[in-house]
Amino acid sequence: MGGGGRVDVLRGVSLEIPSGTTAAVTGPSGSGKTTLLGIMAGLEPPSSGRVVLGETDLTALTEEERAGFRARHVGFVFQTFQLLPALTALENVQLPLELLPRSERPDRRQLRERAEALLERVGVAHRLHHLPSQLSGGEQQRVAVARAFVARPRILFADEPTGNLDAESGARVVDGLEELNRSEGTTLVTVTHDLELAARSDRVFRFGAGVLESEAALP
């Protein structure tokens, strides 16, 4: 890292998201939204403070334990889709289940049925055996949404899931995300610049320069 030295990205941030609700995180570019999501999802530890998901204090776990916790309980949708290019849509969605320890892994048939059902519900059933490069951006992101739900996570984080999409493809991604979230009863945390999307969430957290500027619970 050129220049070295330490930069505090988030300062004094404290927030609580009730289980089963939806939350939106908004704020200008560089305000720390992605950093916050990574910390809440257990992708990286905070330099100080605590992150508790359900009964589990993520900050008390080793990196390996955090990885196991994420695999079982946390889903993530990235702005840039992050599908594996050499795997088909169906294989991408099955992968999180295949990575579970053998004792927790469904059998082949169940695994495939679960993945297919999710792809159907996000409207990509006709693209099961296509590679990501053969799909539109919106289709890729809907595959990524199906993948995020496949292991039945308790909480799902989406970082600007429509940021790389046109309005129409973005709307279909959001429909899929909201539909699955409702039917699976997941807690959903979405970073978004889309105020309409934010307004559909139970809570909106607004950031500025690493500080939580406001929190609104919507009626």
Ligand X SMILES: Nc1ncnc2c1ncn2[C@@H]1O[C@H](COP(=O)(O)OP(=O)(O)O)[C@@H](O)[C@H]1O
Residue with Cβ nearer ligand X (33 or 142): 33
Angle 92-96-101 from CA coordinates, rounded to 5°: 145
Q: Does 192 bind ligand X (CB under 6 A)?
A: no
Phi-psi region of 208 (alpha: psi -120 to 50; beta: other; left: phi over 0): beta
DSSP conformational letter for 5: -
Segment near ligand X (CB under 6 A), from 25-33, 60-68, 133-141, 182-190?
25-33
Least separation in angstroms between CB 34 and Mg ion? 3
Binding site for Mg ion (CB under 5 A): 33-34
When binding is defined by CB under 6 A, the residue of 30, 49, 54, 185 that contacts ligand X is: 30
- The answer to whether 4 contacts ligand X (rule: CB under 6 A) is no
Measured CA angle at 73 (ends 157, 185), to 5 deg: 70
Question: Would you count residue 211 as binding ligand X (CB under 6 A)?
Answer: no
Backbone angles phi, psi at 178, to 5 degrees: -70, -40
Burial class of 182 by CB neighbour count within 10 A (0 to 12, 13 to 18, 19+): exposed
Question: According to CB under 6 A, which one of 22, 31, 181, 201 is a site residue for ligand X?
Answer: 31
33 binds ligand X (CB under 6 A): yes
